[in-house]
Structure 1
Amino acid sequence: MLMATFGFCNSVPPTPPSASAADPHEPFFQGLKKIIHNKPYLILALCFGCGIALFSSLSTLFEQILCPQGYKDQMIGIYGALLIGTGVLGAAVAGAIVDKTKKFMETAKVCFAFAALASIFLSV
């Protein structure tokens, strides 16, 4: 801590640690401006943001959604664990499929379609 605070060592190593570190980096706000104007990134961020919001809201409100339907707290806990477990299993399967086929968009669309169907069935 003292060496870093008082400058007893160089701030830059004598040789760059990787090829990407050898290139000068662009300023943060310039990169942020590029991201804001990148349409595929915005679509991807919106889709994954909605997926994370759906998961977070379901896991938070599971008890309030299912208790009035007559489910006990223990069963609701099991359903929450199944929600997380099937998500992990589905991510592992989707990751293996994408790794072999390199079809990122198609796999994401199929996964989102299944998530939408599961949400509809849960709400019904």
Structure 2
Amino acid sequence: AVRYFRDFVRPAKTYRLPSEAERAALSELSGALAPFEGSTEAEALQAVVYEIGRKHFPDMSGKSKGPDGRPGVAQTWFSAIYQVLLGQERGPRFGSFVALYGVAETRTLIAKAVAGDLLREHESFLAERVRPAAE
């Protein structure tokens, strides 16, 4: 499974740097997750994700509603999370991801993404794959 991930899944990932607005929202999300350290309550963690998204990326169309019935969050917020943090277009409900991956680990992931480290690490990984083996 690890070899499959390294050989097929990881090379297909496409990380990107966050925009300034996304950087601000992700940084705020990291801070908002801090009090939930050790929590595995996916719904509570998802509520935090929605709250930050609602503040920074509200759904201006009025078409969507959050799980709590309040105005929804623009899809751009969730796309940014997946692209910047996970290197993919889609992903799991982010609250569930945080519950499984861990709050501290997710906050570290956010810090690395905001600093550009995730993108740099991925670029290094890809460059390493194309180097010919030493003779």
Whether TM-score is above 0.5 comes out as no
Q: Say which structure is richer in helix.
A: 1
TM-score range, shorter chain: under 0.3
Provide the TM-score with structure 1 as the length reference: 0.27
Provide the TM-score with structure 2 as the length reference: 0.25
Higher relative contact order (CA 8 A, sep 6+): 2
